């Protein structure tokens, strides 16, 4: 069957996934739907429960050769859908607002391609990864021995990109998406009467100094490239006019283009917190969460993506700056040779994570064609 003819099958599958979205780490029914769909084709092996709810659908050629991994993501977001179409999310406060339903449909499009045109050599691993949004899924997959035994030679993945013309292939050498992580600072002193603040130990000034200090870190001369600190939350004491606060929490998200800059930024932040705590006689705790390394593309793999786009007559958009958002595919590119690329999802499409966003069905076939060309080039 020609790929264009199977487009409807993939659109229906995408909408089926869209209707019943599941949050990170809870993608049980989504994973089952993938397995059920894969079972209607001719895969050589299907692995389930990889790093949680992960699924790998494997196709093998008769001769030994390279192993290529194509990865997509299973999870949705805790956002309530503001769309009225008939396949809208049936769950309150959960919906596919990052287009992972579309990514799954694209990678599932390879089931038919690889069943109808058998590989002569090598192996293709189609990975449906859980928990991308929290930065946990890739790590769990990479620590699962069922996965590491597959030991891919090459890894590839894509993301749909609102703001870019439909079907455009967005590529970049080196860093594609930023490193990022969340910082939680807990400062503990001692409460006192609001009339006698001098008898307590209050974290108020430390919080104020830390807000200024953290926001200033990107000016640090030893950083090599772009970095950003965003204060996202703070809480000092309770809503009680009689009390001088004795406890505070401050949260920030930090991001850098380069992994090495993330180390510098981390050290600067910890030093700052330490100093502020000592100065104001506070006990402190630092916690780093939702950590994503930068997604760093290999030149060889970007060239393969670019050749695949040319072969299919897709417009290539070579960007110069990495994206500020993060992707946990960075854990894969840290360990394996690989690359990440974007597919334009339409200039006027609502942005990712917006309540009215929906993945454009027209680019499913574009994604399947790209991955199929990449697979053929790598295994040739
Ligand atoms: Zn997302
Ligand atoms: Zn995403």
Query: Is there a single domain that holds both residue 37 and residue 116?
Result: yes
CATH code (residue 269): 3.30.70.360
Tell me the two tokens of residue 244: 């001088």
- Chosen domain end from 292, 317, 348: 292
**What separation in Å is there between the alpha carbon of 150 and the centre of ligand 2?**
24
**What separation in Å is there between the alpha carbon of 111 and the centre of ligand 2?**
22
Task: Please state, as a whole number, how many other Cβ atoms lie within 10 Å of the Cβ of residue 14.
Answer: 25
165 phi, psi to nearest 5 deg: -55, 140
Query: Is there a single domain that holds both residue 135 and residue 276?
Result: no
Residue 264, classified by CB atoms within 10 Å of its CB into exposed (0-12), middle (13-18) or buried (19+), is: middle
Q: Nearest CA to 73 among 118, 119, 123, 140? A: 140
Residue 4: C-alpha distances to residues 11, 101, 318, 366 (Å): 11, 19, 27, 10
**What separation in Å is there between the alpha carbon of 327 and the centre of ligand 2?**
7
**What separation in Å is there between the alpha carbon of 22 and the centre of ligand 1?**
13
Tell me the two tokens of residue 21: 């979205």
Query: Is there a single domain that holds both residue 275 and residue 233?
Result: yes
**What separation in Å is there between the alpha carbon of 281 and the centre of ligand 1?**
40
Task: Please state, as a whole number, how many other Cβ atoms lie within 10 Å of the Cβ of residue 78.
Answer: 12
Residue 150, classified by CB atoms within 10 Å of its CB into exposed (0-12), middle (13-18) or buried (19+), is: middle
322 close to 172: Cβ distance less than 8 angstroms? yes
Query: Is there a single domain that holds both residue 31 and residue 138?
Result: yes
**What separation in Å is there between the alpha carbon of 40 and the centre of ligand 1?**
29
Task: Pick the ligand that lies closest to the CA of residue 340.
Answer: 2
Query: Is there a single domain that holds both residue 328 and residue 355?
Result: yes
- Chosen domain end from 257, 292, 327: 292
Which pairing describes strands 121-129 and 283-292: parallel, antiparallel, or unpaired?
unpaired
**What separation in Å is there between the alpha carbon of 133 and the centre of ligand 2?**
7
**What separation in Å is there between the alpha carbon of 351 and the centre of ligand 1?**
10
The total of structural domains in the chain comes to 2
**What separation in Å is there between the alpha carbon of 159 and the centre of ligand 1?**
9
Query: Is there a single domain that holds both residue 133 and residue 242?
Result: no
Q: What is the pLDDT of residue 211?
A: 98
The parent domain of residue 128 ranges over 3-177+294-379
- Chosen domain end from 243, 276, 292: 292
pTM: 0.93
**What separation in Å is there between the alpha carbon of 354 and the centre of ligand 2?**
12
**What separation in Å is there between the alpha carbon of 218 and the centre of ligand 2?**
26
Query: Is there a single domain that holds both residue 284 and residue 226?
Result: yes
**What separation in Å is there between the alpha carbon of 32 and the centre of ligand 1?**
22
- Which residues, 6+ apart, have CB-to-CB distance to 223 below 8 Å? 256, 261, 264, 265
**What separation in Å is there between the alpha carbon of 353 and the centre of ligand 2?**
9
**What separation in Å is there between the alpha carbon of 347 and the centre of ligand 2?**
18
Angle in degrees, 0-180, between the axes of helices 3-19 and 100-116, rounded to the nearest 10:
140
CATH code (residue 24): 3.40.630.10
How many whole angstroms separate alpha carbon 97 and alpha carbon 101? Answer: 9
Task: Pick the ligand that lies closest to the CA of residue 354.
Answer: 1
In order along its 380 residues, the chain shows pLDDT tens digits of 667 778 999 999 999 999 999 999 999 999 999 999 999 999 999 999 999 999 999 999 999 999 999 999 999 999 999 999 999 999 999 999 999 999 999 999 999 999 999 999 999 999 999 999 988 999 999 999 999 999 999 999 999 999 999 999 999 999 999 999 999 999 999 999 999 999 999 999 999 999 999 999 999 999 999 999 999 999 999 999 999 999 999 999 999 999 999 999 999 999 999 999 999 999 999 999 999 999 999 999 999 999 999 999 999 999 999 999 999 999 999 999 999 999 999 999 999 999 999 999 999 999 999 999 999 999 99
Tell me the two tokens of residue 261: 């800059």
Query: Is there a single domain that holds both residue 190 and residue 269?
Result: yes
18 close to 96: Cβ distance less than 8 angstroms? yes
Q: Which residues surround ligand 2, an ion (CB under 5 A)?
A: 98
Q: Nearest CA to 210 among 238, 180, 183, 240? A: 183
Query: Is there a single domain that holds both residue 104 and residue 228?
Result: no
How many whole angstroms separate alpha carbon 85 and alpha carbon 64? Answer: 47
DSSP count for the chain of H helices, then E strands: 10, 16
Q: What is the pLDDT of residue 1?
A: 62
How many whole angstroms separate alpha carbon 254 and alpha carbon 185? Answer: 13
Query: Is there a single domain that holds both residue 147 and residue 67?
Result: yes
- Name the H helices within the chain: 3-19, 28-38, 100-116, 137-142, 145-148, 204-216, 259-279, 299-311, 330-335, 364-379
Q: What is the pLDDT of residue 3?
A: 74
How many whole angstroms separate alpha carbon 327 and alpha carbon 334? Answer: 12
Query: Is there a single domain that holds both residue 187 and residue 223?
Result: yes
- Which residues, 6+ apart, have CB-to-CB distance to 179 below 8 Å? 255, 256, 257, 258, 259, 261, 262, 292, 293, 294, 326, 330
Task: Pick the ligand that lies closest to the CA of residue 342.
Answer: 2
Query: Is there a single domain that holds both residue 146 and residue 25?
Result: yes
């Amino acid at each position: 069957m020609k790929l264009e003819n199977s487009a409807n099958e993939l659109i229906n599958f995408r909408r089926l996934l869209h209707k019943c979205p599941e949050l990170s780490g809870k993608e049980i029914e989504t994973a089952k739907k993938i397995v059920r769909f894969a079972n209607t084709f001719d895969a050589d092996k299907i692995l389930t429960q990889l790093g949680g709810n992960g699924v790998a659908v494997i196709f093998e050629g008769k001769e030994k050769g390279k192993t290529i991994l194509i990865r997509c993501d299973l999870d949705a977001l805790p956002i309530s859908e503001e769309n009225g179409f008939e396949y809208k999310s049936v769950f309150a406060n959960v919906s596919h607002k990052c287009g992972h339903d579309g990514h799954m449909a694209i990678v599932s499009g390879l089931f038919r391609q690889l069943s109808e045109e058998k590989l002569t050599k090598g192996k293709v691993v189609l990975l449906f990864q859980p928990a991308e949004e929290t930065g946990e899924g890739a790590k769990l997959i990479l620590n699962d021995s069922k996965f590491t035994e597959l030991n891919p030679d090459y890894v590839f993945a894509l993301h749909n990109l609102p703001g870019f013309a439909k079907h455009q292939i967005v590529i970049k050498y080196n860093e594609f998406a930023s490193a990022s992580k969340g910082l939680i600072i807990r400062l503990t002193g001692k409460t006192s009467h609001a009339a006698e603040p001098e008898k307590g130990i209050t974290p108020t000034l430390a919080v104020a100094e830390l807000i200024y200090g953290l926001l200033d870190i990107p000016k640090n001369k030893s950083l090599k490239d772009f970095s950003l600190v965003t204060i996202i939350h703070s809480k000092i004491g309770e809503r009680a006019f009689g009390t001088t606060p004795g406890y505070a929490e401050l949260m920030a998200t930090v991001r850098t283009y380069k992994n090495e800059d993330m180390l510098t930024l981390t050290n600067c932040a910890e030093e700052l917190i330490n100093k502020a705590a000592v100065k104001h006689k506070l006990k402190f705790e630092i916690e780093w969460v939702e950590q994503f390394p930068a997604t760093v593309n290999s030149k060889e793999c970007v060239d393969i993506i670019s050749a695949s786009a040319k072969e299919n007559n897709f417009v290539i958009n070579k960007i110069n700056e990495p994206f500020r958002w993060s992707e946990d595919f960075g854990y894969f590119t840290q360990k394996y040779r690989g690359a990440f690329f974007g597919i334009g999802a339409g200039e006027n499409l609502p942005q990712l994570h917006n309540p009215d966003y929906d993945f454009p069905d027209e680019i499913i076939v574009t994604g399947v064609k790209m991955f199929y060309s990449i697979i053929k080039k790598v295994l040739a």
